Amino acid sequence: MITDRQYESVRKPANVVAWLYFIFMAYMLLNPQPPIEFIPEYTFSWLHFLAFSALGVLVGLARRNASWLYLLALLWGWSVGSECLQPYTGRYFEFQDIVQNVVGSTSGLFVVWLVRRLGIERSVPEHKVRSGAVAILFRPPFSLSDDEPIDFAKRQVLVVRRSATVVAPGALCFPGGGLEKGESPAEAATREFREEVGVEIRVGATIAENTTPSGAPLYWFVAELAAPENGDPKLTLQRSEIAGYEWKTFPELLDDPDFLPNNLEIVRNIVEGKIDLRGKG
């Protein structure tokens, strides 16, 4: 069993190792290799299976936010394509190798999926779990009372990068945090913006709910600046928790490997039209 914090610490090294391993595989698969006498010939198909299983594990660890179907398509493409290219590099095409490549890469990716699905422990004890609130602030000018449709491909939102001293260091997420005693989710989102980035906001209706990695309820809002501005607000970061900030579009966040998974879930639902940003549906 691993915690979410431990998984995050593995992801970036796995990304480097995955690229190095891919380069090594490409060299081995696409260059003529002398016979290896001490390895029986019938075991070579199993070497294909094991090699592609390892690649599946590394890719699954490295690309945390990518769609599983997307990763599977990439792995299958390499599994088939590398074998089809071999006749042009002095080696031989063998259909059984394609089967071993596909089954191996799928198995490796499945192992990572299974660990992430069933094996990630809660990082905080149940009695210490707090509900949380998060707000999405669009880059000015933006007003909650503006009924014009939002162009998701162009409008930017504020995301912050977590400092090295908190859970999931270096990750990108929307500003937010846990509710304090007697506080409503909307009040918590407003306070967290004030503490984390030093601006006053107004929030609209709740637009969505999901959960934190520890299983606590997480409430989502769209926000506007309390004092509307045409230019960017001046932010004062809480350096103990926030290392920096960025303005990004939703499509950019969908492709960012540093974006937290529970934040990614909300953005994907917004882009797919499953969440009404005005909180009316």
Tokens read off for 214 = 């520890």
CB 251 within 8 A of CB 172: no
Specify whether the CB–CB gap between 93 and 82 falls below 8 A.
Answer: no
Q: Are strands 2-3 and 120-121 parallel, antiparallel or unpaired?
A: parallel
Q: Which of residues 142 and 249 earns the better pLDDT score?
A: 249
32-58: pLDDT as tens digits: 765 555 455 555 557 888 999 999 999
Across the range 7-12, mean pLDDT stands at 68
pLDDT digits (tens, 9 = 90+) for 195-204: 999 999 999 9
Burial level of 40, CB count in 10 A (0-12/13-18/19+)?
exposed
Give percent of the chain above pLDDT 90. Answer: 47
- Given a contact cutoff of 8 angstroms between Cβ atoms, the answer to whether 249 and 152 are in contact is yes
Instruction: Specify the length of the chain in residues.
Output: 281
Mean pLDDT of the chain: 83
Higher pLDDT, 264 or 91: 264
pTM above 0.75, yes or no: no
Please write the tens of the pLDDT for every residue from 85-126. Answer: 888 877 778 888 899 999 999 999 999 888 876 755 444 444
- Where do the domains of the chain lie? 2-121, 128-271
The whole-number pLDDT of residue 10 equals: 75
Residue environment code for 1-32, b if the CB has 16+ CB neighbours within 10 A, otherwise e: eebbeebbeebeebbeebeebeeebeeebeee
Place of tokens 């960025």: 246
Top-level class of domain 128-271: alpha beta
Q: What is the mean pLDDT of residues 61-78?
A: 84
Query: In the numeric block, which tokens belong to residue 278?
Result: 């005005």
| Nearest C-alpha neighbor of 260 from the set 182, 131, 171 | 171
pLDDT of amino acid 235: 94
Q: Which range is least confidently modeled, 10-24, 43-57, 115-129, 171-185? A: 115-129
Mean pLDDT calculated for residue range 228-237: 85
The predicted pLDDT at position 1 comes to 39
Contact 201, 135 (CB under 8 A): yes
| E strand spans, the chain | 2-3, 120-121, 132-137, 156-162, 172-173, 176-178, 201-211, 217-225, 242-249
